[in-house]
Amino acid sequence: MTTDDLGHELSLPVPPTRIVSLVPSITEALATDVPDRLVGATDWCTHPADLAVDRVRGTKNPDLTAIRALGPDLVVANQEENRELDVRRLRDAGVPVWVTVIETVPQALDSLTRLYEEALGLIAPPWLVRARACWAAPPPAPRGRVAVPVWRDPWMVVGPRTYTGDLLRRLGWVNAFDDGDERYPHVDLPDLDTADLDLVLLPDEPYVFTADDGPEAFTRVPTRLVSGRLLTWYGPAMVEAYDVLSS
């Protein structure tokens, strides 16, 4: 018997051999390390590009019937990305679900270590060892104030208590919207296009900002297009994120 990040007890085979992942970043990790065990993933699980498993719809609207039909001995979910209702329905149907809770870089490293060691019966893979070493480094000199929109019309940004916000802090940035109660607050464009900011990072997910869709809205503050995967995905992307975004 073991427990997930929320303290829910699970009785799992050792090791689980039929895994469905409802978390894109964890799907990438499992496809990297135990591809023979991964039998299902969401439509949003885009890495690796050649991933060939059954698709079970989205993170917020998974096809529970399709998941059960795959006969999983483990489903991996995340507190933020997946609905409690879907987790509960799967568990009520007798499907073991391991829920991760990740709001900071250290939480990501520790949660993934527990998933690998306690749920999968594996030692930490090389990318996880390297990610822990990378993110243990002291933060660089302060780089300024940054904002990260995740949607436009209406504009929404990364707020407090988020993995992205913690990652930015560890890269030397101050998230200008790190206060308040909402984790992804709505903001007015003038509050983004302001001299009070040093940079606006425009990711390609969940909203797909591009060279023609996003930068043109800003006349006062510099913008930079960036991979949303590097800002929001934990797993193997954590190593690439450090290498790319720390420069």
Phi-psi region of 52 (alpha: psi -120 to 50; beta: other; left: phi over 0): beta
Q: Which pLDDT score is estimated for 13? A: 87
Q: Which segments in the chain show pLDDT lower than 70?
A: none
pTM as predicted: 0.93
Tell me which CATH code domain 144-245 carries.
3.40.50.1980
Task: Tell me the per-residue pLDDT of 167-177, one tens digit each, with 9 for 90 and over.
Answer: 999 999 999 99
- Residue ranges of domains in the chain: 2-124, 144-245
Angle at 166 between CA 160 and CA 169, to 5 degrees: 110
Phi, psi (deg, nearest 5) at residue 76: -105, 130
Same fold, 2-124 and 144-245: yes
Burial group, residue 96, by CB count within 10 angstroms (0-12, 13-18, 19+): buried
Tell me which CATH code domain 2-124 carries.
3.40.50.1980
The span from the first CA to the last CA of the chain, in angstroms, equals 43
Q: Which pLDDT score is estimated for 65? A: 98
- Output DSSP code: residue 217: G
Q: Which pLDDT score is estimated for 78? A: 98
